[in-house]
Amino acid sequence: MKTEDNGKVNFSYHTKVVRNPKLERLQYNYLFPEISARELQHIRKYPNARVISLGIGDTTEPLPDVVASSMANYAHNLSTPAGYRGYGAEQGSKELRKAIAETFYKRMGIKDEEVFVSDGAQCDISRLQLLFGSNMSIAVQDPIFPVILALSHAYIDSSVIIGQTGDVDTISGRYQNIKYMKCGPQNGFFPNLSDTERTDIIFFCSPNNPTGHAATREQLEQLVQFAQDNGSIIVYDSAYAVYITDGRPRSIYEIPGAKKVAIEISSFSKIAGFTGVRLGWTVVPEELLYLNGFPVINDFNRIVCTCFNGASRIAQAGGLASLSSQGFKGVLSLVDHYKQNAEILLQTFESLGLKAYGGINAPYLWVHFPGSNSWDLFNEILEKTHIITVPGSGFGPAGKEFIRVTAFGHRENIIEASKRLTALLS
Amino acid sequence: MKTEDNGKVNFSYHTKVVRNPKLERLQYNYLFPEISARELQHIRKYPNARVISLGIGDTTEPLPDVVASSMANYAHNLSTPAGYRGYGAEQGSKELRKAIAETFYKRMGIKDEEVFVSDGAQCDISRLQLLFGSNMSIAVQDPIFPVILALSHAYIDSSVIIGQTGDVDTISGRYQNIKYMKCGPQNGFFPNLSDTERTDIIFFCSPNNPTGHAATREQLEQLVQFAQDNGSIIVYDSAYAVYITDGRPRSIYEIPGAKKVAIEISSFSKIAGFTGVRLGWTVVPEELLYLNGFPVINDFNRIVCTCFNGASRIAQAGGLASLSSQGFKGVLSLVDHYKQNAEILLQTFESLGLKAYGGINAPYLWVHFPGSNSWDLFNEILEKTHIITVPGSGFGPAGKEFIRVTAFGHRENIIEASKRLTALLS
């Protein structure tokens, strides 16, 4: 394909089909491609360097034996007459729905039938957008740096695709018709709800990526009250909830009344190392109703049955094993590994006199370098320590003094990174 | 949940969010729930009967050893430091994309990069609808019985969800703004294109479900020419193509010029018995351009990266193994098993003097019972033979003299079904 600069190609024939104008509005974000390009350049320059990535957050540690074995056994059994299985339920197996409800929503009154198993949170966000359609008004957290949300969880991009937004403002990089709720250190990473406009949908991610902030109980009580007062629906992303260990809520349903106003999406990716296995879930309570009294769960069930055909049954077997008592012990020790990584990094930055947010209830650190330019920082760190980070300005102008660092990695790499950063920055 | 007749529930609180009007247009189809209810009733009446299902088409035979082993090994290796893998590419692994291109599109000039691995054809149809958006005009085959398409592949329902259609006509059960292209025995199961209106998108499934008709080369040449003349995009569903053994095209890209006008979706489900494993693919050629010259593949790639996070890597390992030389032999012997089932059923109906369509290049038979009512037929067959079928009238009024029969099943069940049907109908 001979691509010209404008992305068009030199073929003589074209159809008469008009490109979807919603897709024309989508902005391309060059942050991660740019990081990859600089990494490649660096490797060419220093072919023998041991490059350590604290960039993209991806799990690195092997699965617990019992989880891998359960998937291996399930797969093996598919070659036997007794073990072969065809289509499963679109909503996931009864056993797994029950295990999710019992493990994550005990005493919150979430029923098995309100849990929909998926192939991951990102995919379910897109199915939720199909559910909502193009006429919804939406709000997203603005953890100083709005675009990260589009990168990490596609809230914004999927909203653009479904048609909820207007055009992008070329100066701010923000879309019309999306309300950005500022969440920074100045307000405890929680929006000032008294001056927040009502929207139909409020996307809220806790623990947050990239700031690493886990909302407190009081904050979530405010959020649920705000949604009830406005008749809004909260889409609560709890993909990192298992990293919370200081008593803050791990689910929005810990807040009384949340079932009337909230959908919760979550994932086995960062809990159980399933980034490549693909498994997640979404909870839609029966109590959540549209203005006309129609249950949202009925429509979501229809979307799941029409636009999805169930998560791989092998992945579901792994999910079930990871929630068994032995499996969950293994899973928690994986989480503990990454949390210790985060602690090492946090101590490193603090001992260097730098302020780092997150890292306690989340596998991300958001590190402040007052007066710096984050791309310069990225370059200097890469050049002098062979460590990949993520420059904050890639997430918007307000991120220009920050870098994001992931705690996902092998321990020896984290320790080595800590040494190199200490040598550079002390 | 206390459900009232109108689907609303008796909770006092409701949000102020208006239900997506597109979802309000969706019609519920009670065919398969009704069949299940009657099956249940039958089992209660005859608790000792050996019920045989020739209803829903689901694979029944174990996977080839080499395929199951490759998935088991991949899963097992995820518990080892050397074998652990995190996120894969959203578009699928390079190896699998290459193997699909080489196995199914040899000498058709399809590049590896034009193949997007998915978790199944149904999911990709929904992603294609996100690609197209709500302003597209669409056409679907009307194999006498339009609703089957909504059931089997969600073309219509996903169009309704994305907003391409108007309201449903309560008498015909058809949606406004969808063109239904009649395909019956009278026209060789191929639409009369000379009186077919232009649409942006043409959904075309071959071999067809339920009629079992595989389009001939001449028919597909006409279709491609028609699309070129009109500047339309064909979405070609080839999920059953591997059942074609009489030389008819297995891919739309066997037709010269198709790459300029056609997307092809396909699946490992019915090829390799992956209905529960979940793996498919979509081909978007670089030559396929919108009116403004922009490549469709660029937008589809964006949709895949935003709304999908890749098929399970374990399933992908199985897909790759099923395309290895040993694996593909095993896969073809599975297909052969179902084709022999179809032949047994075809001979059964023919020996009874009944006209059955399909069953040669497809795993479905569409059996004509002139003068009959298909629900009566369904009931009589169930009552007297304990066999579940699918009544044609469930697919629309024109199906009232037909039943659909699947060839997916264990051989002993097919032979037993054949005996019982012969005893009943001869």
Full set of structural domains in chain A with CATH: 21-62+328-425 (3.90.1150.10), 65-324 (3.40.640.10)
Write down the pLDDT at residue B11. Answer: 73
CB-CB under 8 Å, B80 with A231: no
More confident residue, A122 or B253: B253
**pLDDT value at residue B17:** 94
Q: Which amino acid is at A118?
A: S
For chain B, give percent helix, strand, coil, nearest 5.
Answer: 45, 15, 40
The residue among B341 and B140 whose pLDDT is bigger is B341
Q: Report the residue of chain B nearest A230, measured CA to CA.
A: B16
Give contacts of A135 with chain B, Cβ < 8 Å: 18, 20-21
Chain A contacts of B138, Cβ < 8 Å? none
pLDDT score of A147:
34
* 8 Å CB contact of A86 and B135: no
Q: Which pLDDT band, with edges at 50, 70 and 90, does B206 fall under?
A: very high
The pair of three-digit structure tokens given for residue B268, joined into one six-digit string: 């490992």
Q: Which of residues 13-32 of A touch B (CB under 8 A)?
A: 13-23, 26
Q: What pLDDT sits at residue A396? A: 63
Q: What is the DSSP letter of B207?
A: S
Cα B355–Cα B370–Cα B365 angle in degrees, nearest 5: 35
Task: Read off the pLDDT of residues A314-359 as tens digits, 9 standing for 90 and up.
Answer: 999 999 999 999 999 999 999 999 999 999 999 999 999 999 999 9
Judge whether residue B10 has pLDDT over 70: no
Residue A169 pLDDT: 67
Residues A118/A298, Cβ–Cβ less than 8 Å: no
Residue B396 backbone class (left: φ over 0; alpha: ψ -120 to 50; beta: rest): left
Is some CB atom of chain A closer than 8 A to the CB atom of B58?
A: yes
- Long-range pairs, A38-47, Cβ under 8 A, ≥24: A38/A378, A38/A379, A38/A382, A39/A382, A39/A388, A42/A382, A42/A383, A42/A386, A46/A386
Contact B390, B31 (CB under 8 A): yes
Query: Is pLDDT at B134 greater than 80 in this prediction?
Result: yes
Q: How far is B238 from chain A (nearest CA, A)?
A: 18
Please tell me the predicted confidence (pLDDT) of residue A10.
58
Min distance A370 CA to chain B CA atoms (Å): 33
A274–chain B nearest CA distance, Å: 7
Residues of chain A with pLDDT under 70: 1-10, 28-30, 143-156, 166-174, 395-398
pLDDT(B148) > 70? no
Q: Which chain B residue is nearest to residue A226, measuring alpha carbons?
A: B15
* Residue among A119, A131, A258, A349 at smallest CA distance from B24: A131
Is pLDDT larger for residue A70 or for residue B169? Answer: A70
What residues in A contact B2, CB-CB < 8 Å?
none
Residue B2 has pLDDT above 60, yes or no: no
Q: CA-to-CA distance for A393 and A373, rounded, in angstroms?
A: 8
For residue A258, the model assigns a pLDDT of: 98
Q: What is the pLDDT of residue A173?
A: 63
B8 touches chain A (CB under 8 A): yes
Q: Please give the pLDDT value at position B208.
A: 87
B84-107 mean pLDDT: 97
pLDDT at B59 over 70: yes
pLDDT, position A204 = 92
What pLDDT score was predicted for residue B7?
52
Buried residues in A18-30 as b, exposed as e (16+ CB within 10 A): ebbebbebbeebe
pLDDT score, position A398: 66
Q: What is the pLDDT of residues B69-90, one digit of tens each?
A: 999 999 999 999 999 999 999 9
Q: Is the pLDDT of residue B154 over 80?
A: no
- CB nearest to A309's CB, from B67, B123, B289: B123
In this predicted model, what pLDDT tens digit does every residue of B345-368 receive, in sequence order? 999 999 999 999 999 999 999 999
**Cβ–Cβ gap A309/B278 under 8 Å:** yes
Q: Which amino acid makes up residue B115? A: V
Q: Quick check: A227 and A233 in contact, CB under 8 A? A: yes
| Predicted pLDDT of residue A109 | 95
Q: Does residue B232 belong to the interface with chain A, where contact is any CB pair within 8 Å? A: yes
pLDDT (tens digit, 9 = 90+) per residue, B390-400? 998 876 666 78
pLDDT band, residue B51 (cuts 50/70/90):
very high
Please indicate whether, in this complex, the C-beta atoms of B7 and A65 are within 8 angstroms of each other.
no
Q: What is the C-alpha separation between A344 and A330, in angstroms, rounded?
A: 21
Q: Does A12 touch chain B if contact means CB atoms closer than 8 Å?
A: no
